[in-house]
Amino acid sequence: MALHSVNPATGELLESFIEHTPGEVAALVARAHEAQASWSRVGLPSRAAVLARAAVVLRAEKAHLARLMSEEMGKPVLQAVAEVEKCALACEHYAANGVAMLAPERIAADAAASYVRFDPLGVILAVMPWNFPLWQVFRFAAPALLAGNACLLKHASGVTRCAMRIEEAWRRAGLPPGLFAVLRLGSERVGELVAHPLVRAVTLTGSDAAGRAVAAVAGRHLKKVVLELGGSDPFIVLEDAPLGRCVAAAVSSRMINNGQSCIAAKRFIVVGGIYDAFRRAFVAAVAALKTGDPLDEGNDLGPLARADLADDLERQVRESVRLGARVLTGGGRIAGPGFYFAPTVLENVRPGMPACDEETFGPVAALLRAADPEEALRMANDTRFGLGAAVWSADTAGAEELAARIEAGSIFVNGMVKSDPRLPFGGVKMSGFGRELSGYGIKEFVNIKTVVIA
């Protein structure tokens, strides 16, 4: 079997890769296990130095890596440059702070001494998506490697070139051989990897269906698992919201990465008095966006990553319209080569429609009108997802009170939901469990070991 990398702007094949055989996979897992045993004995400052060098490597290769992402999955090139920079910042953050995060913690008890130490688990399998092909990997790998683990990456098949470049970047940073390895294989073979006795834990970023499948296998084998799954994030606009900044953030939050982001705002819940003004400004701003070649810095959006993703998004819009939604701008695929979809705004959206109930992974925004903040809160929580949310209001204290009642892992008041190496990131409900980033994230893949001296 081969893995194919296709340029979504043209539909043309970029490169094909032969899958690893079962024997090759077994050898890579065994090699990672052996390398991790040595790596775990390397001092934390030396591990941190590798992360610091990785940041240097990423910045040196920033333009090349950005172009690679744009060609392989359609990300606008300026956003791709920012993604590489964010990966470098994550490496620097853990290089500077990870040693302190993993320092033993003294806890008083009925003993001469007692403390907690944080030891690595071993070989960690990462199953990663295509939409942020570098960031999703580095936000896991940087803290996991610093903690003394080895990392096996099963990346999305369509971004295999990105995966190989990530492996090369770690090698150039001085990471010992075997500690970070790319496994070239299809999704149907992930279960056998999760079950492998030398794989001690799994992290997956992807759909809720993929999360359920991996978690089921991990549960049967009692493996630790962290899941960051889909989202249908609410973006609540209260009547006193600062309209100009709010609309600009709404457009960016929905359309970033061509709308292909788990934490993108997807349901725009606007309280009655400001609805008409928000609707006019939002629709005008979305309609003005330029869609085209992702390597052209003048374009705001590129293509969706695959043809089937455009087909599914078109189905969601078409079915929502059949059920009563109204297209205010956009509404379908753009004719011509590539997998382009027009930036779209729907109104009259309500529960029971795909645009409301499902995750729309592309440049489609759903407008919902709420009578008051309480109804906006009920609408925000009326979803199986719980990844992120935003609340916009001039009354920050009131917005914080509302935020406390929203069922999501991250709430941003008067800001756009985003991940930050300094802050924990993850969701609740069908958006997954466990946390990445910050000191919370680095401790997901360690043995929190109690030591008592009687």
Q: What amino acid positions are annotated as catalytic residues?
A: 228, 262
What is the gyration radius of the CA atoms in the chain, in angstroms?
A: 22
H-helix or E-strand spanning residue 205: strand 199-205
Give the single-character DSSP code of 444: T
Pairing of strands 12-18, 2-7: antiparallel
Give the single-character DSSP code of 282: H
CB atoms inside a 10 Å sphere around CB 213: 18
Residues in Cβ contact with 310 at an 8 Å cutoff, skipping those fewer than 6 apart: 303, 304, 333, 339, 340, 341, 362
Longest Cα–Cα distance of the chain, Å, equals: 74
CB 35 within 8 A of CB 178: yes
Residue 13 bridge partners (DSSP): 6
CB 366 within 8 A of CB 356: yes
Phi, psi of 224 (to 5 degrees): -65, 140
Residues in Cβ contact with 91 at an 8 Å cutoff, skipping those fewer than 6 apart: 51, 52, 54, 55, 58, 138, 142
**What does the block give as tokens for 295?**
């390597």
Q: Give dist(CA 112, CA 452) in Å, integer.
A: 8
| Alpha-helical regions (H) of 351-445 | 354-357, 373-381, 396-403, 438-442
CB 435 within 8 A of CB 226: yes
3-state secondary structure 337-355: CCCCECCEEEECCCCCCHH
Q: Give dist(CA 97, CA 170) in Å, integer.
A: 19
Helix (H, G, I), strand (E, B) or coil at 393: coil
* Closest CA relative to residue 275, chosen from 199, 352, 367: 367
**What does the block give as tokens for 375?**
């109804």
DSSP E strand stretches across 75-186 = 105-106, 113-120, 123-127, 150-154, 180-182
